[in-house]
Every structure is written in structure tokens, then in C-alpha cells.
Amino acid sequence: MSSAWEVRLSNSRGVPYFYNTETQQSVWEAPSELSSDQIKALPGAEHLNATPPGQVRASHLLVKHKDSRRPSSWKEPTITRTKEEAINILKGYQAQIGGDPKKFAELASKYSDCSSHSNNGDLGFFGRGQMQKPFEDAAYGLKPGEMSDIISTDSGVHIVLRTA
């Protein structure tokens, strides 16, 4: 069956989606019936990796503490560690990561107190005004592939990896 799918760019969110020209169906995720090669060959596939103008893409490893705005996570229903303890834990991860993005992804998946842990810490693309200021400033201050030092937001303490 010839695929009627094509990739389009959503103006509102500045991210790509999949549109079926026969059924007029729109979906955010790649249709499961398409192989990755078929997806890459779709009309508009160039949108799949484009960075929306003015946006960045980043991942993070978050360690929350008792003064976090929401001291709870998938890992721990009630987080009681102090901010100082959280920083020391994150310093330990930072030493293990040693600037290696693969190691970062592995530790973010295992230990980040953010729901993005299930996607190697990836937050997707975001523009200015979406994240808390210290996080935004860190992400925009990095080049793609670079990692921040430890930063602090109302959510906790983070290491940020800019990916695009």
C-alpha cells in the first residue's frame, strides 16, 4: 500500500507531525506501520531533525531535595534529602559522566527525578520563556553537545546537556 503519509511542521508548537493525505489524519508520533527507512523517505522528512527557530533541545539529570517545589518523583514519593546532599549526589554523577553524553543518558535514565528520565533525560525542543530562568540560561549558554555545571532551580539541582 503506497504510504499517503508526509511530515509537516506544526506552526503552533514548531515541531514536526505526520499527516496522512488520504485519511487527513494527523499524529505527533511516527505511524507504527512505517519502518525507519520509510520515515526518512517521506515527503517533508527534513523537518524531523530541524531545530525550530530560536529553540534549543536539551536533556537534564535532576536531583530533587526537601526544599524542591515538588519534593516527589517517580523514584521517591517523598524526597527528604537536603539541598547539600542533592548537590553531593549530583557531583558524584558528574564525576561518573565525565562529559560523556552516553554516560549522561544512562545516569539520567536511572537517577533523574524528572519524568524525562524515561527518555534519557530528553526534554525535547523548547524556546525562551518555557523553562525556569536558571535552566533556560544554562541551556542557551551551552553549545550543542556541551554539559553545564550543576545549576539550581525551584525543582532541584540539575546538570543540563544541550543536544541541539
Ligand X SMILES: N=C(N)NCCC[C@H](NC(=O)[C@@H]1CCC/C1=C\[C@H](COP(=O)(O)O)NC(=O)[C@@H](N)Cc1ccccc1)C(N)=O
Q: Which residues are catalytic?
A: 60, 114, 132, 155, 158
- Closest approach, Cβ 2 to ligand X, in A, equals 34
Nearer to ligand X, 42 or 147 (CB): 147
Which residues of the shown chain bind ligand X in the complex (CB under 6 A)? 60, 62, 68-70, 114-116, 123-124, 126, 130-132, 135, 153, 155
Classify residue 90 by burial, with Cβ atoms within 10 Å: 0-12, 13-18, 19+: buried
Return the C-alpha cell found at 58.
Answer: 536539551
- Closest approach, Cβ 86 to ligand X, in A, equals 13
- Closest approach, Cβ 40 to ligand X, in A, equals 24
Nearer to ligand X, 42 or 58 (CB): 58
Rounded CA separation 125/139 (Å) = 11
26-27 β-sheet, strand order: 5-10, 15-20, 26-27
Nearer to ligand X, 68 or 94 (CB): 68
Rounded CA separation 136/87 (Å) = 19
